[in-house]
Structure 1
Amino acid sequence: MAVTPPAGASASTSTSTSANANAPEPIRLAMIEGLSGPFANAGEAVFRNLLWAVERVNARGGVKLPGGARQLQLVRMDSKGNTEEALGQLRLATDQGIAYVLQGNSSATAAALIDALNKHNQRSPAQRALFLNYSAVEPALTNEKCSFWHFRFDAHADMRLNALTEVLQADSRLKKVYLIGQDYSFGQQVVKRSREMLQAKRPDIEVVGEELHPMGRVKDFLPYATKIRASGAQAVITGNWGNDLTLLVKAVRDLGLNVKFYTFYGNALGVPATIGDAGIGSVLAVAEWHPNAGGAASDRFVESFRTRFPDPKEDYLHARMQAIIEVLASSMERARSTEATAVARAMEQAVFDGKVLGGVHSGRMRAEDHQFLQPLYVSVMDRAGRDGVRFDAEGSGYGFRSVRRFDAAEVALPQSCKMQRPD
């Protein structure tokens, strides 16, 4: 049923299955994300994932608590892709007693939200809130900037790079690599750590270019593609996401360059359709799961999502965004409470076996730094219908097949968090 959105929020979505006016109040989850502006497509894609996860929890009765089962309600709050707007939405959420905030598209915004939430929880202990992060992957967020009130459900950038460079180092023909990223904390980290990992794993590889560009403001990546061509690079490593990735890949394709792309996010949001045949065997991506990971359970998982969102343009499914809602719901049930501190303590011990997803995904929360540890897949673009590519991406006719699967222990890296926990 639709409900009136809180003031300042773009919309509110409830998936309660009952219209009983006497039903317990829903548990509100505030998704603070760019739902307008240059990265709106990424924000809307996340919303569909979280909405589907919320709907499934509610369809089986909601969160079972001592006072009775309660539904989840996902509240859309538009940051417009701007950190100051995100902080304003956080204040709005906490002022209205929303205890669970979800965000991920931009590590810089995530860092600001963590800092603001730390201060809020110290100032207002009776209204504490948790921040659940689905894709802000700057490693510092669970290392030197770690917080008891923050939980990350995506592998951080160094973990993802560890997997990508393990695959890259096996390509003996590769001798020249170009590094490019968005000029903010995450993009800077990817470029820096890519250089370091290449030096450690393949010191014979030459880094022939290193570039940081404004985030979300470049409309024409041809000058960057021209530099890549002039450098003689055989491969590009990038953490770019959203339109910054799509436009970069398009510019390289338009120049006819035969280079490999080692990406974090090259398997969705327009990239496969943009690059077309040129991406076959050339665009690689890393994620906790992908639609062609294989097996009957994985296939059913994809088919169920596509039944819910049949428009090919809305085809963006990630297992971690399902896990975040499932782990939250089970942590509330173990804590027998929705109070943030109690739920956080339960979530620190969370082990997700993935049974509610048909066994598609699994992982565990590392209590020391609140980093979710999970397997990672590196996959490569290919034409749909070929071996290992049952499903395409966004109706493009191109999908991704597995190159290598890494167990969680293979890509989990040491942490340096010195967490301050509440009394």
Structure 2
Amino acid sequence: MKFVLKTLTATALLSCALAAHAQKGETVKIALIDPQTGLMGPLGNNQMRSWQFFAEKFSQSNPAGVKFELVAFDNKLSPAESLTALQAAIDQGIRYIAQGNGSSVAGALIDAVNRHNSRNPGKEVVFLNYAAVDPDFTNSKCSYWHFRFDADTSMKMEALTTFMKDQKDVQKVYLLNQNYSHGHQVAKFAKENLKRKRPDVQIVGEDLHPLAQVRDFAPYIAKIKASGADTVITGNWGSDLALLVKAANEGGYTGKFYTYYTGVTGTPTALGQGGAGRVFQIAYQHYNLDGPMKAWTTEFKQRFNDDMFTGSIPNAYAALGEAMAKAKSTDPVKVAAALSGIKYKGFNGEVELRKADHQLQQALFLTVWQKADAKYPYSPENTGMTLAPVKEFPAYVASTPTSCDMKRPR
């Protein structure tokens, strides 16, 4: 009897040991569902290369010992196409999806993942949101299966207006944004925060324009100039920001721009030598950040002749590696439980995927467009210019409360 008990104990211990390392050597596939064609294609392709680049980097070293593989789907920035891509990924057995371009797409994917997971126990999917920043996704529409690695619109506006409140040259503000959830939220939080922090500031104009459809922003620049605005706040990204700043340069607008995405594909070239000292960006990283990001951006530029600016991607891979090691599994159910509330070291310092809503809490940086120099040498798109750091905001400054009432699986 003692021999049998010893044998069973040894077998159990061996099983636990094997389970603890069951994920080592496994290949974890991630489906990237983003645009690779159309006006936002250049941005989507840049980020696809970034996901592939960091799949290689984190496959070489992560605490779970897994290998990452990226499978890209072109959604043409369409929610309908994205749902088709999601189903194709699920049919291929892929259990982790990533998306970032367009909150309209992210909203459709969150709903679809929730439905799939409730109807298909044992085949659950985890959604890694690296750039869709509608605050509702971690508030009224929060989901247990959704994890956001970017800072949301309200967090960035909190930091941005904390800086703007001390800028006495900001007197008349024009709000120009894309006509979908993110653009609406930028305008909403800009008005609320300025009223609270700078009640003397006037909102002298507000416009919403179609997403990724406007090719000539000259009429908008004419309206901005006519309003007398000394400052423009915009959440535009991709071609919508690049073409906007191009029109501002050509139209002779000399006011300041406070943006979310100046460093993104196409915008540095559109700015060129213009806009020095007048264009600001609020983001969770910048081109001249020290630490691992410096080596990554240098290598990325050498390999692809392109700029790596989406730091939420390495933070997502780092979180997955940590969570899979903690869960001792690559099973999405176990990994989601480990991701919820996880704290780990990101490229931009200590970060936390807040358990209440799965929103990453992280430092934010305000930068300004200026000539590259010895201190800040990195030049995006070989413009001779750069985004130089002005102010760093610790995570607690930009953190915003959540109303999320998360439904967690048993």
- Does TM-score exceed 0.5, indicating one fold? yes
What residue is the counterpart of 1:331 in the other structure?
323
Contact 1:305-1:317 within 8 A present in 2 as well: no
Contact 2:221 2:247 (C-alpha < 8 Å) held by counterparts: yes
Alignment of 1:20-419 (within 5 A): 26-60=27-61, 64=64, 69-293=65-289, 295=290, 297-309=292-304, 311=305, 314-354=306-346, 360-385=348-373, 388-419=375-406
Residue 378 of structure 1 deviates from its aligned partner by 0.5
Cα distance between partner residues in 1 of 2:299 and 2:148:
26
Q: How many residues align?
A: 387
For residues 146 and 296 of structure 1, the distance between their equivalents in structure 2, rounded to whole angstroms, comes to: 32
Partner of 1:10: none
Unaligned 5+ runs, structure 1: 1-22
RMSD (CA atoms): 1.6
Given that 2:175 and 2:234 are in contact with CA atoms closer than 8 Å, whether structure 1 keeps it comes out as yes
**What amino acid is the match of 2:273?**
D
- 2-structure distance, mates of 1:297, 1:139: 29
Q: 1:296 to 1:417 in 2, by over 3 A?
A: closer
Q: State how far apart, in whole Å, the 2-side matches of 1:92 and 1:305 are.
A: 30
Tell me if the contact between 1:53 and 1:326 (Cα under 8 Å) persists in the aligned partners.
no
1:19-54, Cα deviation, whole Å (9 max, x unpaired): xxxx96621100000111111111112112211211
Distance between the aligned counterparts of 2:291 and 2:320, measured in 1?
A: 26
The residue type equivalent to 2:371 in the other structure is R
Judging changes above 3 Å, is the alpha-carbon distance between structure 1 residues 377 and 307 closer, same or farther for their aligned structure 2 residues?
same
Larger radius of gyration: 2
Structure 2 CA distance for aligned equivalents of residues 289 and 70 of structure 1: 27
CA–CA distance in 2 between the matches of 1:85 and 1:165?
36
Distance 1:362 1:270 in 2: 31
Cα separation, 2, equivalents of 1:178 and 1:166: 18
Amino acid of the structure 1 residue aligned with 2:361 = L
Matched letter for residue 317 of structure 2: I
CA offsets 1:168-196 (integer angstroms, 9 cap, x no match): 22111221110010000111111111111
> Is the CA contact (8 Å cut-off) linking 2:322 and 2:344 kept in structure 1?
no
Distance 1:398 1:287 in 2: 18
Query: What is the letter of the counterpart of residue 78 of structure 1?
Result: D
| Partner AA of 2:387 in structure 1 | F
Give the structure-2-normalised TM-score.
0.91
Q: Provide the identity percentage.
A: 40
Aligned to 1:8: none
Which moves more between the two structures, 404-413 or 330-339?
Answer: 330-339
Other-structure match for 2:12? none
Deviations 1:209-265 (A, max 9, x none): 000001111111111111001001101000000000111111111111111100000
The residue identity in structure 2 corresponding to 1:30 is: A
Is the contact made by 1:272 and 1:279 (CA closer than 8 Å) also made in structure 2?
A: no
Instruction: Report if the CA contact (8 A) 2:276-2:369 is conserved.
Output: yes
8 A Cα contact 1:63 1:72, kept in partner? no
TM-fit CA distance, 1:296: 5.8
CA contact (8 A) 1:39 1:243 kept: yes
Which residue type is aligned with residue 354 of structure 2?
Answer: R
| Kept after mapping to 1: 8 A contact 2:131/2:312 | no
Contact kept? 1:144, 1:417, Cα under 8 Å: yes
How far does residue 298 in structure 1 lie from its aligned partner after superposition?
A: 4.7
The amino acid across from 2:341 in the alignment is Q
* Secondary structure of the structure 2 residue equivalent to 1:218: coil
3-state SS of 2:323 partner? helix
CA distance in 2 between partners of 1:346 and 1:134 (Å)? 18
How far did residue 152 of structure 1 move? 0.3
CA-to-aligned-CA distance 1:108-130 (integer Å, 9 cap, x gap): 11011000100000000111000
Q: What secondary structure does 1:42 align onto?
A: helix
Residue pair 1:79, 1:86 contacting (<8 A) in 2 also: yes
